[in-house]
Amino acid sequence: MAQPRKRTSLVVALSLVFVLGHSAAAQFFETRGTYSAVGAPEFVSAADLNGDGKQDLVLTAFITNQIVVLLGNGDGTFRPGVYYPVGRGPSAIVIADFNRDGNLDLLAADESDDQIGILLGNGDGTFQPAQETSTGVGTLSVATGDFNGDQKLDLVTANGGGTCPCFSVLLGNGDGTFQPPISTRPPVISSVVGVGDFNRDGKLDVATAGQSLATSKVTIYLGHGDGTFQKGLSYLIGSSPNGIAVGDFRKTGKLDLAIADSLGPGISVLLGNGDGTFQQPVSYPTILPNSVTTADVNRDGKLDLVAANFGCVDRSCPAGASVFLGNGDGTFQPAVMHAAGVEDWWAAVADFNQDGLPDVAIADNLTDAGIALINTGVVSFSPSSTILFPTQLVKTTGIPQIVTLSNTSASSLSITSISVQGNQFQLGSGTTCGSSVPGNGSCQIAVNFMPQAKGLKSGLLVVRDSASTKPQNIPLSGSGTVVTLSPTELDFPPTKVGTQSSPQSATVTNIDSAPVNITSIKLTGIFLKNYTETNTCGTQLAPGGSCTITVTFVPLGTGERDAAVTITDDGGGSTQAVALSGTGT
């Protein structure tokens, strides 16, 4: 089985408790949007950064040394990211008001140097340039709390990435700056930290986990209330701990721990005794969990666990989010996997579409993306992510895309309305969904794309039903073009090696009233050298004008020799392509 890429240790940070509602309902997470976060994101966190009541996202861009802020629209979708430079290798984020001005600030832990970066918030979703503070060592994980009772937020960091495999406390000054770190070396390398009052004395304690050689442990440090700690007991856990969630899984007032053991066997749950000690861990299997957090996913009043699964590099096991429904007694049901992404490092939980259900955001390291998974209750959509339409000639209608709506409950689902936002899209005649869907039934929604102008167009399919108090939105995307190709494929007869075929031609036409600028016309594909191409297009195609691309097949070997001619232009939907096929004999 393939493994997540490891540096000194996998990326880690504290997972906070998130609880919504108390009435029972089934749960289904579905991918509803993928958002660019260039730079190999390894961590994601959510909060309302601009005070508009809508949850926003912050991701780390590890390779490009930045963090990415995506403001939420309140309907489960997000605006394009804004990038802020920080130190080298940001590995974790904390969102809190460090300078006590009422605006949320961002703190980025930098694994590849000895810095943490503070970005003070302006209250409108923008941030001031990062102010770097030395931790003395590379930081893998960071959490915040008031460790000395002065009403100023302090930091605790896990420093397994540096010269001292310690955890450190940096006392806050209340103005966004911090005092020098006070470091403590635990029994194993400190890779992740969690914070809570584990012995119920009103003073914050620290749980730190890590691995040295073949031994993985979590160690409890009990706070004195002045920023210093007394070492408690250590507990053996699964391999390569990478995330900690703290919560009261039994509603006893005693804090429990859930730890993501990234290399197996899964999630370790340690139930607290309320005196700073814990029961021996119980493991819940899931493959390659990189992080774990808590939420009441199905709104039954019991905390559940949500893990981000890295996914096998050979694709033999999926990436995505695993949900362990809580039984309310400190035990959990087997994991239910919601596949999403390719190599997922972290998951955050918040209500992104304001329907009272906790949703999930995932940082997908391989595809440079933040992925939004919406909790749809009893409604399932297929496809569930952005509906992509083929490039369409302006002022014409393409083949409709079909969305299947399934009612996964035994009871009837009422549909209030189905509509499309965006004047480039409309409901199609193939829509079969009416005012209700029977239990375990399904219906179809057809959506047409009719671009009125060239370029990328976006919209929303909006469904209002009895499964949610808020509309359920599926993004729509397609490009309109004013450039036509005829034909779009040139199929050459079998041709003897060393000879050439008769030439064939494709016509490029600009149907617009404005010129189209052509950047390039070229052969592409692994067999491009088996063709020659000439054209009459030049660098600009006049309004209503046409030009000709002429291709000859000159096989250099036997067998199928497929390639393409690609045209790059500003007519919308670029690049266009003419497929080439021929067989050498």
Tell me whether residue 293 is in a domain: no
Strand partners, 94: 107
Question: DSSP class of residue 341?
Answer: S
Pair (555, 527) in one structural domain: yes
> Quick check: 27 and 21 in contact, CB under 8 A?
no
Domain end: 465, 481, 497, which one?
481
pLDDT at 573 over 80: yes
- What is the amino acid identity at position 321? A
Residues 500 and 409 placed together within one structural domain of the fold: no
In a domain, 175, yes or no: yes
Total structural domains within the chain = 3
pLDDT tens by residue, 100-150:
999 999 999 988 887 899 999 999 999 999 998 887 667 889 999 999 999
Q: How confident is the model at residue 28 (pLDDT cuts 50, 70, 90)?
A: low
Alpha carbon of 504 to those of 125, 295, 485, 490: distances in Å?
56, 62, 14, 7
Which domain CATH number covers 419? 2.60.40.10
Q: Are the C-beta atoms of residues 374 and 32 closer than 8 Å to each other?
A: yes
Does the residue 62 lie in any domain? no
Mark whether 163 and 271 lie in a shared domain.
Answer: yes
CA distance 2 to 287: 10
Q: What span, in angstroms and rounded, lies between the C-alpha atoms of 247 and 252?
A: 11
Together in a domain, 140 and 257: yes
Task: Please indicate, yes or no, whether residues 198 and 170 belong to a single structural domain of this protein.
Answer: yes
What digits encode the pLDDT tens for the residues 266-279? Answer: 999 999 999 999 99
Q: What is the pLDDT of residues 424-454, one digit of tens each?
A: 999 999 999 999 999 889 999 999 999 999 9
Give me the chain's average pLDDT, please. Answer: 89
Q: Which of 158-167, 282-291, 391-400 bottoms out in mean pLDDT, i.e. has the lowest?
A: 158-167
CA-to-CA distance for 497 and 582, rounded, in angstroms? 11
> Is residue 553 very low, low, confident or very high in pLDDT (cuts 50, 70, 90)?
very high
- pTM for the model stands at 0.70
Same domain for 533 and 471 = no
Residues 153 and 265 occupy one common structural domain: yes
Mean pLDDT of 382-411: 86
Query: Domain ends where: 460, 481, 502?
Result: 481
275 and 177, same domain (yes or no): yes
Q: Residue 222: pLDDT band by 50, 70, 90 thresholds?
A: very high
pLDDT digits (tens, 9 = 90+) for 35-52: 999 999 999 999 999 999
What pLDDT is attached to residue 161? 55
- Whether 402 and 504 map to the same domain: the answer is no
Cβ atoms of residues 143 and 67 within 8 Å: no
Q: What range does the domain containing 391 cover?
A: 387-481
